[in-house]
């Protein structure tokens, strides 16, 4: 088998290296599927010791025609008679369509490895000869079934579809065509249309049930009670109504149950993110550890972020990816949740943390040995990530005011000498207590509307609460900008999707703090990112802030804004515009003999009227502009509310407005 033959008289003492268990197991199932035409799906599912079975076996079966073509083209049957054909299939699949490398030095592995280059060049010919989508119409009915299976089950795609394909070799031969349906295939129904059709169908079924079954239950029970048990009158009616009510409730429960099931299905697309604790483990080490746990690293290259996300959605149950953006983040399928819950022996090296939470820490970009302040630190996931990014050098002050959360923070921080925890209110903090702070992370309490649970069971916005939170967030951000004279970069983040807590707060704070400016977070990030804030409602602000969105990024919802101290003598544009406006208010005030703030009220009123007139004249465009102005005015109002001035100001405004009208 290609292994060097020992020279005459030379004794060979080489120990026989065993073939890795995963490969041996895969060979067993491939043999059953290919030679005996068995559906091994259920068997693999039950084989708890072969967790990566779906991926390994699926990979062979879904590429079987190409693998066999490669096997034939290289004449492996004659050149390597001792190499078992199923073993060859598994190893070629791994090498050409899987991780791209083989584990260990067993003889079959060494044997296939030596053909790696030849296999690579032969693959181009084999792929060129593979049948195109147009050629598969004869088996289109079967392919339709395959597509349904592939799209619906996501992570289970490989094995299920491939095993079905194995039972029909002609269908398997078109695996490539299956994964890229052609527009001229009449059997392909777009996924969204199919989902909508099913939703409507189910709705019809339930409404039909709702309008028929309770009546059936009512009259059936009435009849039964009267005929069989001779119960008439009031008792009969009670029994019949009870039966109808029970039926209604059962239907409602079934409907709700279906809803929960759908949420679970959606969950399945969401990955489990795991961060490396780079203080104790590097990427290479993580690969080794995970391989020992039978995880398979998908080493594909992605053209862009969207292509990566699509691959994440179809991760096999034993596969994982290294993240597209962050080198210290790994992406596992949703089903890995239970593995990570059990794998307590790995919790020191790996940290369960959502990808969105890495945006603020990466964007803070603390330099080596710098002084960082994490104003709202507990439980400390971002703090410990900062410690890793800073390679445990410099100083991180981690502040938390809530006692029990502070205890958790201390536990997390205990491994990182660079973190100094402080149990206090960060609004009382001054530069003397945390000397020389240059970088500030502010991740304050928020409504949490971006958390998955809140998104799955949406509830209406609690406006007074959000209003209050925005006031507090404004106060904290203002404090960050003013209490620490050496602060040069501030990152503000929330796990809220409400603009009031995000762009609104940023706008309010820029307006009153000319010495900090808002950076373009997308540019600062330096990599492809999909979502930014609302630039229509908050021009010059929205488009500079980042959002992570569950529906796109498969993460929790998160907002991030990055501020930088302005150079000497420079003030941010929002502040300058506001100052200019204030001057114009003062001029109005002088004209009418009222105070500056009241002048502002007059001017704003005039602007709204102007916008209204413009809207009438120009339609939609002007309406948007007016909306933008109104939205932009919100944080100002929130600040006033936070300091308890709002009512007084309102009353004064009304009174003076009346006076001016009279004048």
Ligand X SMILES: C[S@@+](CC[C@H](N)C(=O)[O-])C[C@H]1O[C@@H](n2cnc3c(N)ncnc32)[C@H](O)[C@@H]1O
522 contributes a contact to ligand X by CB under 6 A: no
Which whole-number Å values give the CA distances from 577 to 55, 163, 420, 514, 573, in the listed order? 59, 65, 40, 10, 6
* φ and ψ at residue 84, rounded to 5 degrees: -60, 135
Q: How many CB atoms lie within 10 A of CB 197?
A: 11
From the list 159, 177, 276, 377, which residue makes contact with ligand X (rule: CB under 6 A)?
Answer: 377
111 tagged catalytic: no
Could you give the angle at the alpha carbon of 197 between the alpha carbons of 531 and 168, nearest 5°? 95
CB of 444 to ligand X, least distance (A): 5
Please choose, from the candidates 409, 404, 405, the residue with its C-alpha nearest in 3D space to the C-alpha of residue 421: 409
Residue 338, judged by CB atoms within 10 A of its CB (0-12, 13-18, 19+), counts as exposed
508 contributes a contact to ligand X by CB under 6 A: no
Q: Which residues contact 242 (CB under 8 A, 6 or more apart)?
A: 221
Helix (H, G, I), strand (E, B) or coil at 381: helix
Nearest residue (CB) to ligand X, 461 versus 472: 472
Nearest residue (CB) to ligand X, 281 versus 402: 402
380 contributes a contact to ligand X by CB under 6 A: yes
CB of 473 to ligand X, least distance (A): 9
351 contributes a contact to ligand X by CB under 6 A: no
507 contributes a contact to ligand X by CB under 6 A: no
Half-sphere exposure of 468 (CA within 13 A, CB side): 7
Q: At what angle do helices 191-227 and 233-269 cross, to 10 degrees?
A: 160
Task: Choose one: 440-448, 501-509, 545-553, 634-642; the region binding ligand X (CB under 6 A).
Answer: 440-448
425 contributes a contact to ligand X by CB under 6 A: yes
Nearest residue (CB) to ligand X, 93 versus 373: 373
CB of 340 to ligand X, least distance (A): 18
381 contributes a contact to ligand X by CB under 6 A: yes
CB of 376 to ligand X, least distance (A): 3
Please choose, from the candidates 317, 252, 244, 304, the residue with its C-alpha nearest in 3D space to the C-alpha of residue 55: 317
The catalytic residue among 111, 495, 545, 566 is: 495
Does residue 379 have a cis bond before it (omega within 30 degrees)? yes
Site for ligand X in 392-411 (CB under 6 A): 399-402, 405
CB of 527 to ligand X, least distance (A): 21
378 contributes a contact to ligand X by CB under 6 A: yes
From the list 379, 514, 539, 627, which residue makes contact with ligand X (rule: CB under 6 A)?
Answer: 379
Nearest residue (CB) to ligand X, 29 versus 559: 559
468 contributes a contact to ligand X by CB under 6 A: no
Q: Which two tokens stand for residue 53?
A: 């079975």
Half-sphere exposure of 608 (CA within 13 A, CB side): 10
Rounded distance between C-alpha atoms, residue 223 and residue 107, angstroms = 78
376 contributes a contact to ligand X by CB under 6 A: yes
444 contributes a contact to ligand X by CB under 6 A: yes
Nearest residue (CB) to ligand X, 100 versus 379: 379
Contact 64, 34 (CB under 8 A): yes
From the list 34, 372, 426, 545, which residue makes contact with ligand X (rule: CB under 6 A)?
Answer: 426
Is 443 annotated to bind a ligand? Reply is yes
Contact 355, 553 (CB under 8 A): yes
Site for ligand X in 78-97 (CB under 6 A): none
Nearest residue (CB) to ligand X, 400 versus 503: 400
Contact 243, 217 (CB under 8 A): yes
Which residues in this chain contact ligand X in the complex, by CB under 6 A?
Answer: 357, 376-382, 399-402, 405, 425-427, 443-445
The catalytic residues are: 495
């Amino acid at each position: 088998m290609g292994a060097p033959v020992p020279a005459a008289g030379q004794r060979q003492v080489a120990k026989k290296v065993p073939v890795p268990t995963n490969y041996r197991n895969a060979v067993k199932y491939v043999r059953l599927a290919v030679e005996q035409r068995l559906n091994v799906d259920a068997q693999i599912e039950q084989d708890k010791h072969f967790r990566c079975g779906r991926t390994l076996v699926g990979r062979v079966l879904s590429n079987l025609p190409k693998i066999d073509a490669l096997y034939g083209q290289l004449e492996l049957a004659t050149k390597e008679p001792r190499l078992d054909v199923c073993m060859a299939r598994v190893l070629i699949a791994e090498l050409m369509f899987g991780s791209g490398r083989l584990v260990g030095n067993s003889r079959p592995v060494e044997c296939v490895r030596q053909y790696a280059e030849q296999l690579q060049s032969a693959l181009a010919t084999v792929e060129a000869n593979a049948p195109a989508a147009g050629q598969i119409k004869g088996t289109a009915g079967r392919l339709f079934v395959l597509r349904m299976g592939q799209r619906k089950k996501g992570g289970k795609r490989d094995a299920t579809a491939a095993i079905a394909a194995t039972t029909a070799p002609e269908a398997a031969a078109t695996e490539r065509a299956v994964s890229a349906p052609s527009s001229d295939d009449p059997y392909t129904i777009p996924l969204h249309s199919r989902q909508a059709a099913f939703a409507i169908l189910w709705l019809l079924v339930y409404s039909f049930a709702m309008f028929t079954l309770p009546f059936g239950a009512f009259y059936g029970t009435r009849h039964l009670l009267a005929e069989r048990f001779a119960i008439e009158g009031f008792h009969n009616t009670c029994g019949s109504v009870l039966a109808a009510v029970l039926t209604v409730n059962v239907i409602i429960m079934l409907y709700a149950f279906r809803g929960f099931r759908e949420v679970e299905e959606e969950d399945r697309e969401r990955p489990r993110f795991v961060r490396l604790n780079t203080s104790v483990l590097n990427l290479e080490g993580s690969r080794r550890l995970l391989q020992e746990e039978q995880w398979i690293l998908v080493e594909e290259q992605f053209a862009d972020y969207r292509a990566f996300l699509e691959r994440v959605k179809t991760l096999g149950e034993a596969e994982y990816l290294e993240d597209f953006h962050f080198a210290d983040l790994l992406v596992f399928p949703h089903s890995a949740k239970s593995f990570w819950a059990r794998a307590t022996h790995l919790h020191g090296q790996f940290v369960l943390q959502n990808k969105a939470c890495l945006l603020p820490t990466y964007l803070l970009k603390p330099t080596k040995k710098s002084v960082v302040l994490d104003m709202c630190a507990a439980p400390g996931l971002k703090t410990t990530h900062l410690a890793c990014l800073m390679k445990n050098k410099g100083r991180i002050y981690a502040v938390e005011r809530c006692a029990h959360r502070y205890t958790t923070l201390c536990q997390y921080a205990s491994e990182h000498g660079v973190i100094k925890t402080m149990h206090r209110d960060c609004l009382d903090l001054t530069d003397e207590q945390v000397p020389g702070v240059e970088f500030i992370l502010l991740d304050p309490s928020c409504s949490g509307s971006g958390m998955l649970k809140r998104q799955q069971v949406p509830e209406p916005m609690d406006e007074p609460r959000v209003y209050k939170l925005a006031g507090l967030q404004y106060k904290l951000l203002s404090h960050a900008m003013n209490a620490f004279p050496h602060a040069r970069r501030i990152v503000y983040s929330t796990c809220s999707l409400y603009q009031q807590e995000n762009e609104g707060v940023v706008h309010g704070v820029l307006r009153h703090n000319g010495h900090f400016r808002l950076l373009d977070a997308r540019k600062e990030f330096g990599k492809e990112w999909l979502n930014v804030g609302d630039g229509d409602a908050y021009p010059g602000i929205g488009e500079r802030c980042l959002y992570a969105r569950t529906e796109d990024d498969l993460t929790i919802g998160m907002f991030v804004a990055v501020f930088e101290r302005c150079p000497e003598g420079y003030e941010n544009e929002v502040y300058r515009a506001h100052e200019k406006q204030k001057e114009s208010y003062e001029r109005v005030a002088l004209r009418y003999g009222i105070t500056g703030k009241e002048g502002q009220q007059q001017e704003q009123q005039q602007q709204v009227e102007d916008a209204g007139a413009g809207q009438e004249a120009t339609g939609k465009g002007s309406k948007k502009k007016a909306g933008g102005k109104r939205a932009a005015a919100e944080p100002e109002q929130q600040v006033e509310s936070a300091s308890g001035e709002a009512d007084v100001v309102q009353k004064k405004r009304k009174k003076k407005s009346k006076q001016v009208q009279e004048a």
